Structure 1
């Protein structure tokens, strides 16, 4: 009997795990998820690495070596995280080869501190790609205004990119344009376009959280619109994806061997306990998409998700009507998405600083332990 995760894959959905730690790699857990849960990629972010390092005995040996070398916290972070991403990339290499580069991908993010610095983002993205040195790495760049030209430059250099923190359709359109401009630069520079891949990470559950908060304040009939904005926004993102990649500019690049930039559904862990725990998986089943899931959502999906095929295409009119109702109720959705982008950057910066503190403390502890010997 086919499992729900296998059914999703049959529908054209790629399942990526939104988590990574050295313990997952060395224990064989990551390989097991590939074999038993149809996982075909991994995404990371500063919050994930902060969690892994704060409770990760697997890092003690490397931290001691780095402390002995006098490494700073930032130097240690890049050494440790690029080692993990390189090792995970090797675990996923068979998937990458089997899918001709579409899946088997492992993402690593540029420092969130650089979210509003185009040139520094470009430099670090190139440095990360060189340090990991694996063809199946994706460099994560946030879809801030400063991030857009960085996306173009990095893609133009032949590096595959995961564009993260997308909330609005307007910004998503700009992200697609930045990707296409990057492909045009890559083609002019002589890169093989077939080797360049990208996903556009469209966040889902955070949209519901912010909109539902505003609908609660409005009260009355407005509350009937709760718990739908995240899914409906993602459906309209898929409509935009179909429209943009059907245009001549994109088709000319595809004819030269370019890949479309796949929509990726991020933030798919359900935050409201009243909602089904697989809501952002089953309702966003669509061909040619990626759903990156926290392990809890992955296991819930495998255990009891009811997968009923494509739930996105053909439902655009319904989604547009929903946003008309949201506007009429008094919700400024443009403000919602700007707030979410600002908060998203701030949260990742806070996690990055937490990661720096965790590593700095571990380095100091290692030095003290060595001195006590």
Structure 2
């Protein structure tokens, strides 16, 4: 396998990058689908062909794109612009069908937007805002003169970071890093109805669809907790040392995938037995991963399971690439180049 370029634009002057992005189409008709990659230090989203990882399009965002959500109907994506030195206050909305230009939604006083999920209607979404301690319900189709924020629900202190939704979208769950807790939010009543300890550094969060289980990765505790979705009681605690930072499920709900950032690995759990069935090493053995520009080691963070193919994609932040994993034998089969500091991932079919 030919070694990919780790950073194809590293030596280009900063002012050239927006010009190059403008020359690339925002959306393309790619039958195989595309992987969307949010590049936090490049303020961009790259579209990579799921056939071979080649870049097909670039969309510019505001500073610090941290998370990506694709609507259930597959027609648009929303990106949270967390900001860098200055808190961000916006979402970038992309039309994946290519019929409309990208647009920006201002969240007003609600800064540091991060976790984001679309509601089932594909029109509204929920987003956490760390700076204001809220979970927002945002209407993407609000009129030009209307406030897009349909509800601002206080979730309290503790750094509400990521968000997950129940199967029917009526309940949201927010992980709090500093508090080490998970909160339950009734969206119809627009209020928080419960909060319970999960583990120190609670961050990654995912709802196992069709099974009524809420899973949380607690990065400082090195654990994954499985919760009852109503009481938030901890039903199981799984060991996952090495800074478990994100958690997602495969499309069939059979496996839970956890990126252990400092361990440089993907932990694979059988969701029924609650046991680890595979560990995928993600860092190269050639020592190339030390990033002298960022002054940090490469860390696997963002992860997503392909909904139609037996593959998983992991963003290696600090190494500027995606590790492509075959779920048949849980091995890395390819590496695709990205922009600076990839993290957020989405699949556009």
Structure-2-length-normalised TM-score: 0.31
Which protein has the larger Cα radius of gyration, Structure 1 or Structure 2?
1
* Greater length-normalized contact order (CA 8 Å, ≥ 6 residues apart): 1
Identify, as 1 or 2, the structure richer in strand. Answer: 2
Identify, as 1 or 2, the structure richer in helix. Answer: 1
